[in-house]
A and B are shown apart, each in its own frame.
Chain A
Amino acid sequence: MIKTDHLCKRYQSVTAVEDVTFEVRPGEVLGFLGPNGAGKTTTMRMLAGFVTPTSGRASVFGHDVVSDPLAARQSLGYLPEGAPSYGEMRVNAFLAFIADLRRLEGPRKRARLQHVIERLQLASVLDRPIETLSKGFRRRVGLAQAMLHDPPALILDEPTDGLDPNQKHEVRTLINEMAREKIIVISTHILEEVAAVCTRAIIIARGRIVADDTPLQLAARSRYYNAVSLQLETAAQLAEARAAVEALPAVAQVEVSERDARLTALPRAGASILQAISDLARSRGLKLKELHLESGRLDEVFRTITA
């Protein structure tokens, strides 16, 4: 279990992290969201033992990160922001170096090395100096380094940054696979990633936690939650459709996009409007290209909370 208790970090005049308290249990994938400079990286650095908290406590499986740092670090795998590594080293030498410091030996060392090399598809670059690798490969070397000793908890600072869509998908699959028995904390500013891998999301703004919920529940806070979006064949019917939809009692507001003849109806709180709008379209003879129910927009929630 990873636990933080009123964690704070202040630099001379700037407060980077203020009163952050949360608990993560095995099986959870926690996503840290927040604008740049909100305190995500500082919080993760405190968990990893790189930054010392100004006040408050943090512990990893009962080991306090300040008073018992080595035990805390041993149960963590950590991918620092930007996945730094020794550029002049070859990939295999770098991974062997990490394995040695992680006290992996003999057959287990070989097995773990083989596992991460396979999982992250590093076999083709093992003999190359890390500085000659592409950004995607470097990120994967960083991930391999973090999961090498099969730690019960992983802290990954922007694990998919710089990866192409295929590699992103690979890494997300990997995270999902490991998620069952591990604690995984990731930070990201890619919102789709939260929906794809996280069981829980914490939004941080200006150093404080402003939301802590499942991605679904967060999306439900959106004013687009349960909204109905319909696209017409032609823009000609737009004005008529708008007037009709606005007249429905359960509809709070209607947004119109002339460009693609789209109309989005936002429901009053708690109301369901899909059936009513679908009936209306049929009775009015509206020519529909598309009609769907929105599940809420995370980016809109994100903007509303962090602005």
Chain B
Amino acid sequence: MRNVGIILRRELASYFATPLAYIFILIFLVLANAFTFYLGDFYQRGQADLKPFFAFHPWLYLFLIPALSMRLWAEERKSGTIELLMTLPVKTWEAVLGKYLAAWLFTGVALALTFPIWITVNYLGSPDNGVIFASYLGSLLLAGGFLAVGSCMSALTRSQVVAFILGVAACFVLLLAGYPLVLDAFQGWAPQALVKAIASLSFLTHFQSITRGVLEARDVLYFAMLIGFFLFTTTVALDLRKAE
């Protein structure tokens, strides 16, 4: 576990050593607020809650998270540092977890920096802060899920652009797994049980049930298992084709 911490610290420092971190945070904050106020009608609704704020997070993450996760492994492959890292006395899963947690912690920082909107809504009225807290947690879990998918896509290629496109596509399918857009592709030929299973994989339904203020164990478990699965797949993908 110690190696996880060492790799996490290095990764996190490298985000802030380049403009990447600042640009990401800036764009995330600008877009999150623009969506809330212009598309979400934050004022016009006349309600003291952050529903319009959180409603856009899945769509924001759909493009921003793969932009963050695309570099996780593709860059290591491209620059050859994967050879350095994988020949140090480090287990593959430790490297996968360390890099992933750094990225997740980083998105956590970006998310935490949206706190002015929480202050605003508390200043304007008296919102249910329990719901807001649950929603923040749900948003963090959603970001974690997207990052795990992105990590896996990044491990498959040495091109960050390919990793980005694969990441967006995979996240899009998972996001809308419960909706006709994805389900129609399976309806008609796949057994009903499979269609139901796919529908239950939807990011969006689980996220929305958390943002309604109901933090259920099965939703948290869903994200935990999804993250676990994709990190495991990342590890396997790296072990199978480290050098290619």
- Please give the distance in Å from B24's CB to the nearest CB on chain A: 15
Given A50-B242, A50-B243, are A82 and B80 neighbors across the interface (CB < 8 Å)?
Answer: yes
Are A51 and B243 interface neighbours, CB within 8 A? yes
7 interchain residue pairs of minimum CB distance: A84-B80, A80-B83, A48-B87, A88-B17, A74-B89, A100-B6, A73-B89
Are A85 and B88 interface neighbours, CB within 8 A? no
B86 contacts chain A at the CB level, 8 A cutoff:
yes
Q: Which chain A positions have C-beta within 8 A of B91? A: 70
Are B14 and A98 interface neighbours, CB within 8 A? no
Q: Which chain B positions have C-beta within 8 A of A98? A: 88
Q: Which chain B positions have C-beta within 8 A of A249? A: none
Q: Which chain A positions have C-beta within 8 A of B17? A: 88-89, 129
Given A89-B14, A98-B88, A101-B88, are A45 and B6 neighbors across the interface (CB < 8 Å)?
Answer: no
- Please give the distance in Å from A50's CB to the nearest CB on chain B: 5
Q: Which chain B positions have C-beta within 8 A of A45? A: 83, 243
Given A51-B242, A84-B79, A89-B17, are A97 and B84 neighbors across the interface (CB < 8 Å)?
Answer: no
Q: Which chain B positions have C-beta within 8 A of A49? A: 86-87
A145 contacts chain B at the CB level, 8 A cutoff:
yes
Q: Which chain B positions have C-beta within 8 A of A50? A: 83, 86-87, 242-243
A93 contacts chain B at the CB level, 8 A cutoff:
yes
Are B88 and A102 interface neighbours, CB within 8 A? yes
Are A93 and B13 interface neighbours, CB within 8 A? yes
Are B87 and A86 interface neighbours, CB within 8 A? no
**Distance of A70 Cα from B86 Cα, bound (Å):** 10
Are B18 and A84 interface neighbours, CB within 8 A? no
Given A89-B17, A100-B6, A101-B6, are A84 and B81 neighbors across the interface (CB < 8 Å)?
Answer: yes
Task: List A residues 44-92 near B (Cβ within 8 Å).
Answer: 45, 48-51, 70, 73-74, 76, 78, 80-82, 84-89
**Distance of A81 Cα from B83 Cα, bound (Å):** 9
B3 contacts chain A at the CB level, 8 A cutoff:
yes
Task: List B residues 83-106 near A (Cβ within 8 Å).
Answer: 83-84, 86-91
Return the chain B residue nearest A74 by Cβ: B89
- Identify which of B14, B84, B89 contacts A102 (C-beta below 8 A): B89
- Pairs A–B under 8 Å by Cβ, sample size 18: A45-B243, A49-B86, A50-B83, A50-B86, A50-B87, A50-B242, A50-B243, A78-B87, A80-B83, A82-B80, A86-B14, A87-B79, A88-B17, A93-B13, A97-B6, A101-B3, A103-B89, A145-B84
- Identify which of B3, B84, B87, B242 contacts A85 (C-beta below 8 A): B84
Q: Which chain A positions have C-beta within 8 A of B196? A: none
Q: Which chain A positions have C-beta within 8 A of B87? A: 48-50, 73, 76, 78, 80
User: Which A residues form the contact surface with B (CB < 8 A)?
Assistant: 45, 48-51, 70, 73-74, 76, 78, 80-82, 84-89, 93, 97-98, 100-103, 129, 145
- Please give the distance in Å from A165's CB to the nearest CB on chain B: 26
Q: Which chain B positions have C-beta within 8 A of A86? A: 10, 14, 79, 81
**Distance of A70 Cα from B7 Cα, bound (Å):** 16
Q: Which chain B positions have C-beta within 8 A of A103? A: 89
Residue interface bits B1-36, CB-to-A below 8 A is 1, else 0: 001001100100110011000000000000000000
**Distance of A104 Cα from B243 Cα, bound (Å):** 28
**Distance of A49 Cα from B86 Cα, bound (Å):** 8
Return the chain A residue nearest B13 by Cβ: A93
- Please give the distance in Å from A113's CB to the nearest CB on chain B: 15
**Distance of A100 Cα from B80 Cα, bound (Å):** 20
Q: Which chain B positions have C-beta within 8 A of A102? A: 88-89
- Please give the distance in Å from A64's CB to the nearest CB on chain B: 15
- Please give the distance in Å from A203's CB to the nearest CB on chain B: 23
**Distance of A80 Cα from B76 Cα, bound (Å):** 13
- Please give the distance in Å from A276's CB to the nearest CB on chain B: 55
Q: Which chain A positions have C-beta within 8 A of B81? A: 84-86
**Distance of A142 Cα from B10 Cα, bound (Å):** 17
- Please give the distance in Å from B84's CB to the nearest CB on chain A: 5
Are A88 and B83 interface neighbours, CB within 8 A? no
**Distance of A102 Cα from B18 Cα, bound (Å):** 26
**Distance of A203 Cα from B185 Cα, bound (Å):** 57
Give the most central of B87, B88, B90: most A CB within 10 Å.
Answer: B87
Q: Which chain A positions have C-beta within 8 A of B3? A: 101
Q: Which chain B positions have C-beta within 8 A of A89? A: 10, 13-14, 17
Are B80 and A80 interface neighbours, CB within 8 A? yes
- Please give the distance in Å from B11's CB to the nearest CB on chain A: 10
Return the chain A residue nearest B15 by Cβ: A88
Q: Which chain B positions have C-beta within 8 A of A51? A: 242-243
**Distance of A48 Cα from B88 Cα, bound (Å):** 9
**Distance of A70 Cα from B91 Cα, bound (Å):** 8
- Please give the distance in Å from A152's CB to the nearest CB on chain B: 14
Are B84 and A80 interface neighbours, CB within 8 A? yes
Q: Which chain B positions have C-beta within 8 A of A87? A: 79
Return the chain A residue nearest B5 by Cβ: A100
Return the chain A residue nearest B20 by Cβ: A88
Give the most central of B81, B83, B91: most A CB within 10 Å.
Answer: B83
